[in-house]
């Protein structure tokens, strides 16, 4: 097992989820501030 490759794959798979959550929160805050 190449742990570097595994970590990179894990990050690529799981990083978009918190980014989507943060992006949705920011868009809600922008919509609320208007």
Q: What is the pLDDT of residues 1-34, one digit of tens each?
A: 577 788 888 888 888 888 899 999 999 999 998 8
pLDDT of residue 1: 59
Regarding pTM above 0.85, the answer is: no
Mutual orientation of helices 3-14 and 16-33 as an angle, nearest 10°?
30
Give the count of domains, the chain.
1
With CA atoms as reference, report the closest residue to 28 among 6, 20, 3: 20
Rounded Cα–Cα distance for residues 27 and 22 (Å): 9
String of DSSP letters for 1-34: --HHHHHHHHHHHHSHHHHHHHHHHHHHHHHHH-
- Residue 10 lies in domain: 3-33
């Amino acid at each position: 097992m190449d742990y570097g490759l595994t970590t990179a794959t894990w990050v690529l798979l799981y990083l978009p989820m918190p980014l989507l959550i943060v992006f949705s929160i920011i868009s809600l805050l922008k919509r609320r501030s208007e």
